[in-house]
Amino acid sequence: MVAVEEQKFDNMLMHIAQQHNGIEPLFDTFFGFLRRKTDFYTGAQKAMAETLVMTSFKKHLNVALKEKAAREESDMFEKPVPKVEPATIEEITTEGAKASAPPPVPKPQKEDLSKPVDETKLEEGEESEKGKLEPNPGNGANYPNYSFTQTLEELEVRVPFDVNFKVKSKDCKVDIKDKSLSVGLKGQDPVVKGELYGKILTDEALWHLEDNAIVLSLEKFNKVEWWGTIIKGDQEISTKKVQPENSKLGDLDGETRSMVEKMMFDQRQKAAGLPTSDDQKKADTMKKFMEQHPEMDFSKCKWG
Condensed to tens digits (0 to 9), the pLDDT of residues 245-255 reads: 545 555 566 67
Mean pLDDT, all residues of the chain? 78
Antiparallel, parallel or unpaired: β 213-219 and 172-176: unpaired
Q: How many other C-beta atoms can be found within 10 angstroms of the C-beta atom of residue 218? A: 23
Q: How many other C-beta atoms can be found within 10 angstroms of the C-beta atom of residue 26? A: 16
Chain segment 4-40, per-residue pLDDT in tens:
567 767 777 777 877 777 788 888 888 888 888 888 8
Contacts of 104 (CB under 8 A, 6+ apart): 164, 165
3-state secondary structure of 148: strand
The rounded percent of the chain whose pLDDT value lies above 70 is: 72
Report which of 119, 175, 114, 174 is spatially closest to residue 149, judged by C-alpha positions.
114
Side-chain half-sphere exposure of 261, counting CA atoms within 13 A: 10
Antiparallel, parallel or unpaired: β 154-160 and 172-176: unpaired
Chain segment 143-179, per-residue pLDDT in tens:
999 999 998 889 999 999 989 999 999 999 999 999 9
Distance CA 192, CA 172 (A): 12
Chain segment 220-243, per-residue pLDDT in tens:
999 888 999 999 999 999 988 887
Side-chain half-sphere exposure of 294, counting CA atoms within 13 A: 1
At position 38, the amino acid (one-letter code) is T
Euclidean distance between the first and the last CA atom of the chain, given in angstroms as a whole number: 74
